[in-house]
């Protein structure tokens, strides 16, 4: 069963009269992880935001996005608001855009949890603290009393991931969720997301520049270039039997970086 089906998605910048994403079609199977990779500006984040109807004004969209067989374009604003979080949850690339800058983090977390669960205040506090600790945020009470600008980009990303652990959504869209994290924290955070997938059988779309990480977590892989999907297939097949020179370039560039890192570590 496909949890998500995207048919002929195109995104246009109306001011510049420029097509940013061109006729993209793909499916995501129940319980699987689909990775989307490509250089900056290839249309990965725009595609993800379109799935949640979160693209900014000035961008027009064509095509069909079906979630569990339902066309999200036909959902009311109220229905979409209720669906975001419990059904479809997005971990933003830039954590600062995900939170209200005028309130402390805890207000956002408690209000979001309250929209979807009938927990008591004590239960909400306990569940949020536990999730924050699982993504290696020490002193969760202090974190919840901070304003977004008082936390680092990595801490904001981990806070968004913690909220995903609390909400247990059917579909997680993770847009570069580990870019601001060190290697150890990255491993722990991805492990928590993997455990969540195993526990509740949720589906994931994972956007990343890190092809090494993609290879470890993704069942299927899309490669995007200049707004178009240029290669697709099972992850290992794309790595080993890719047909496009662009895919070969991405994979070889990642290997060069990995080799250089190992040389540096050997010198030390």
CB 100 within 8 A of CB 110: no
Q: What per-residue confidence (pLDDT) applies to 268? A: 46
Q: What per-residue confidence (pLDDT) applies to 15? A: 92
> From residue 114, how far is each of 43, 107, 213 by CA, in Å?
33, 10, 33
Q: What per-residue confidence (pLDDT) applies to 24? A: 96
Enclosing domain of residue 51: 2-267
Q: How many domains does the chain have?
A: 1
β-pairing verdict for 228-234 and 88-91: unpaired
Q: What is the mean pLDDT of each run of 10 residues along the chain (268 residues)?
A: 95 95 96 93 93 91 95 90 88 84 94 91 95 91 95 88 91 86 77 84 90 90 95 95 90 59 43
Question: Residue 116's domain is classified under what CATH number?
Answer: 3.40.50.300
Q: What per-residue confidence (pLDDT) applies to 70? A: 93
pTM for the full predicted model:
0.87
Q: What per-residue confidence (pLDDT) applies to 27? A: 96
């Amino acid at each position: 069963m496909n949890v998500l089906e995207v048919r002929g998605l195109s995104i246009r910048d109306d001011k510049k009269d420029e097509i940013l994403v061109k006729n993209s079609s793909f499916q995501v199977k129940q319980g699987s992880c689909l990775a989307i990779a490509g250089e900056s500006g290839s249309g990965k984040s725009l595609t993800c935001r379109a799935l949640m109807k979160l693209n900014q004004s000035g961008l027009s969209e064509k095509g069909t996005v079906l979630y569990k067989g339902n066309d999200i374009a036909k959902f009311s604003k109220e229905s979409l608001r209720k669906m975001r979080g419990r059904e479809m949850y997005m971990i933003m690339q830039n954590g600062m855009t995900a939170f209200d800058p005028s309130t402390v983090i805890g207000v956002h977390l408690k209000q979001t949890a309250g929209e979807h669960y009938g927990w008591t205040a004590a239960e909400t506090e306990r569940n949020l603290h536990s999730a924050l600790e699982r993504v290696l945020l020490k002193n969760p009470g202090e974190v919840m009393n901070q304003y977004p600008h008082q936390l680092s980009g990595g801490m904001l990303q981990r806070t968004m991931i913690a909220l995903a652990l609390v909400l247990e959504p059917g579909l997680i869209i993770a847009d570069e969720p580990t870019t601001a994290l060190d290697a150890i924290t990255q491993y722990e955070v991805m492990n928590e997301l993997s455990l969540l997938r195993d526990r509740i059988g949720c589906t994931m779309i994972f956007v990343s520049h890190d092809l090494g990480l993609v290879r470890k977590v993704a069942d299927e892989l899309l490669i995007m270039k200049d707004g178009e999907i240029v290669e697709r297939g099972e992850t290992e097949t794309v790595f080993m039997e890719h047909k496009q020179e662009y895919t070969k370039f991405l994979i070889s560039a990642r290997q060069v970086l990995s080799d250089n890192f190992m040389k540096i570590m050997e010198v030390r």
